Structure 1
Amino acid sequence: MSSNSPRRPSSLIGWLLRWHPRLGAVVGLAIIAWGLSGLAHPIISRIQPSAEAYLYKLEAFSTADLLSVSEAAKRAGITQSLTAVRLLAWQQQAYYRLQTDSDIIWLNANSGAVVDNAERDYAVFLARHYLGDQHSAVKSLSLQTEFDEDYVFVNRLLPVWRVAFEREDGMRVYVDTASDRLGTVVNNTKAATSVFFRNVHSWIFIKNDNLRLTLMSICLVGGGVIALAGLLQYFLQWRAGRGWRQGRSALKVHRLLGVTVAITAVTFTGSGLYHLWQKQFVLQPVAVPTQSVAAEQLAVNWSAVNANIVQADMVAIDGQAYFRTWYEGELHYIDARDGQVLNDGERLHAIALVAQYMPTDAPIKATRTVESFNDEYGFVNKRLPVIAVDYERADHLSVYVEARSGALATVVRDADRYEGFSFAFLHKWHFIDGLGHTPRDIISACFATGIALTFSLGMFLFLRRARR
């Protein structure tokens, strides 16, 4: 036994010396790409264009002389069922924004007259408001119903109007006229950096999802194994006293950098792999059919509701139409037929939405209004405010819905919480948020650069040895 024990570390060192560089050569390019794109991410976020404003505030208007929806639609000759109805004021005039299965129609809420091109004009108005540009000519205007390379899924809102301006930076603004919201602003720089990051970091150039998942998984596992193997090799050579300080400068730098960033490489690749696979097991919502209401059912007398309102949006709760209405600084749900207020309307609406998107027999534990992003409901979800409905289940299911649009914001279970914690702390380094946003980005970028340099030197050493 004693005669064999000295040879074990020697044999292991030899195996590591043989396979550590070979495995590194296989996955090295992928790790280098991830390291460089990780370095680029905070830089990209700082050179992207920013909007002049991020909120458009509607003003209250008088309800005197307002027609009901049914009367306005009758005067305009609209006979189709309505899938969305909105009452708002714009440029000192109250309007109904009516949506059918095939069209969007704006009516003067006082006369019932159809307002031509109002939807397009409102889109341009919102785009100019958010961009702070009242002078540049509009180059193009189009309705976007799908995400693409320019307007990616992370922006969440659809459909949106794409308003492109005649400017040297190629600025285009995406706005949601159904809720007055900004989708995003994109110029040529942001578009180019987005394409770079999504190709280099997320590998969208591989169109086959299964192939992309497989290749990324192999490279992530390989990167973590290489980092651990290198750390083990360094330790064994140091303990054996077998010339671990020897070698040319490139080898010495590779070793020093490798020891410095090895654990970080493992946390980056491990959390990335966890994030990649957790996305494959998210709960899929049920497809919710579009609500459809006959205009004659929307007969509420607005002047009887309140003398002034800010806006009203039609919603459906258990098949009944209501208007989600703001007045006197508060939100009210009123019956679309007679204006009666529905007590606790927003909570009932949220529960009804959740029951449609994510049916479950589990009892409801609590409902919560979420008005700011947090560790569980992060900025990536975009929508605020939202209502969270928590269930009494073993996986502690929470479903977030936006009552304003009726949209599902996100679904969170314990598995999602664990992965979110892992990604936030091990991949994005939020555990050092106390130092400030910029110091955190600098530190994490330095480690990402170190990982890329370590693998670059490793591949250089491997190729130099192979040539010999």
Structure 2
Amino acid sequence: MSRNWIRKAHRWLGLAFSLTAMMSAGSGVLHTVMTRTQAPPPSARPSGGGLDAGAVRISIAEAVAKLPSERKPVAVNVRMIGGEPWYQVFTGPGVPAYVSAVDGHVDPAQDERYAGEIAAGFLGGKDVKKTDYLTAFNNEYINIFRILPVHRFDAEDGRGTRVYVSTTTGSVTRHTDDQRQFEASAFTNFHKLGFIPNKDVRDWVQVITTGGLFLLSVFGVVLFFVTRPRRKGSM
């Protein structure tokens, strides 16, 4: 390869992949900013004001008997919802069943009510409104948050504050607002090419662009050596 060809290749590769380098550098700066402006993920913590064990009137076996016989329990929790104890019965993926530990009646609406209490408690008693129920990840609640399904609740505080709540863990899995989400979305678009919706296409673009930057670096090293000044008297 001639020096001129290497020089031209390095120049055009630099032009072609400079945008990728700028995006990577910019996302690195933004990541540093986010570590200082955004709180860490909320920690899982017990919800409610404590369990009133004395209010429990029926056993787990009696509670499970209230459910259809084909629904075999795999796990049971006791949750305080609305100041009363409820059995939260998991029979598989999806929304658990709720059986009153006081009188044994079944109420599917308790899942949303329980989620609302978790959200309000996390936000210091603010009024919250349910705006979504997610069974799949989306552009805001991405797969790094891991837990599904979740309820989304918004607080009318002028900042767009919202929380995502898992009734399985009894905790908030994500807490954000408009400013935090703007930063997070910018980072995702710059660093992970999140603006490309198809994952296969996104992966190929990342491979091509990072491969191009590698090739650009190789040509830069080669160009350094082939164009270095030669010592006097060298052949």
Distance in 1 separating the partners of 2:13 and 2:95: 58
Distance in 2 separating the partners of 1:348 and 1:252: 65
The answer to whether structure 1 residue 442 and structure 2 residue 204 are counterparts is yes
Give the deviation of 1:387 after TM superposition: 0.7
8 Å Cα contact 1:332/1:341 also seen in 2: yes
1:315 corresponding residue in structure 2? 79
Give the deviation of 1:346 after TM superposition: 1.6
Residues 294, 359 of structure 1: alpha-carbon distance in 2 compared, 3 angstrom cutoff:
closer
1:404 corresponding residue in structure 2? 168
1:335 corresponding residue in structure 2? 100
- What's the secondary structure of 1:431's corresponding residue? coil
Give the deviation of 1:295 after TM superposition: 5.8
Residues 257, 303 of structure 1: alpha-carbon distance in 2 compared, 3 angstrom cutoff:
closer
1:302 corresponding residue in structure 2? 63
Which of 428, 431, 447 does residue 195 from structure 2 map onto? 431
8 Å Cα contact 2:129/2:155 also seen in 1: yes
**AA matched with 1:251:** R
The answer to whether structure 1 residue 271 and structure 2 residue 27 are counterparts is yes
Distance in 2 separating the partners of 1:467 and 1:348: 79
Please list the CA deviations of residues 43-101 of structure 1 after superposition, one character each: whole Å capped at 9, or x if unmatched: xxxxxxxxxxxxxxxxxxxxxxxxxxxxxxxxxxxxxxxxxxxxxxxxxxxxxxxxxxx
Give the deviation of 1:254 after TM superposition: 1.7
**AA matched with 1:455:** S
- What's the secondary structure of 1:325's corresponding residue? strand
Distance in 2 separating the partners of 1:417 and 1:467: 55
TM-score between the two structures when normalised by the length of structure 2: 0.74
Please list the CA deviations of residues 127-156 of structure 1 after superposition, one character each: whole Å capped at 9, or x if unmatched: xxxxxxxxxxxxxxxxxxxxxxxxxxxxxx
Distance in 2 separating the partners of 1:447 and 1:424: 16
Which of 133, 137, 157 does residue 393 from structure 1 map onto? 157
Mapping 1:63-462, distance limit 5 Å: 248-283=4-39, 285=42, 288-289=45-46, 293=51, 297-300=55-58, 301-302=62-63, 305-306=66-67, 308=69, 309-311=71-73, 312-317=76-81, 320-325=84-89, 331-341=96-106, 344-359=109-124, 361=126, 363-433=127-197, 436-458=198-220, 461=223
Unaligned runs of 5+ in 2: none
Give the deviation of 1:444 after TM superposition: 1.9
Residues 318, 298 of structure 1: alpha-carbon distance in 2 compared, 3 angstrom cutoff:
same
TM-score between the two structures when normalised by the length of structure 1: 0.41
- What's the secondary structure of 1:395's corresponding residue? coil
**AA matched with 1:446:** I
Distance in 2 separating the partners of 1:290 and 1:414: 26
Distance in 1 separating the partners of 2:216 and 2:230: 20
Please list the CA deviations of residues 200-236 of structure 1 after superposition, one character each: whole Å capped at 9, or x if unmatched: xxxxxxxxxxxxxxxxxxxxxxxxxxxxxxxxxxxxx
How well do the aligned residues superpose, as a CA RMSD in angstroms? Answer: 3.4
Question: In the comparison of the two structures, how many residue pairs are matched?
Answer: 219
Identical residues among aligned pairs (%) = 26
Give the deviation of 1:247 after TM superposition: 5.5
Give the deviation of 1:424 after TM superposition: 3.4
Residues 348, 439 of structure 1: alpha-carbon distance in 2 compared, 3 angstrom cutoff:
closer
Distance in 2 separating the partners of 1:319 and 1:457: 69
Please list the CA deviations of residues 222-276 of structure 1 after superposition, one character each: whole Å capped at 9, or x if unmatched: xxxxxxxxxxxxxxxxxxxxxxxx9644332221110010112112221333234
Unaligned runs of 5+ in 1: 1-245
Residues 286, 253 of structure 1: alpha-carbon distance in 2 compared, 3 angstrom cutoff:
closer
8 Å Cα contact 1:313/1:324 also seen in 2: yes
Residues 467, 382 of structure 1: alpha-carbon distance in 2 compared, 3 angstrom cutoff:
farther
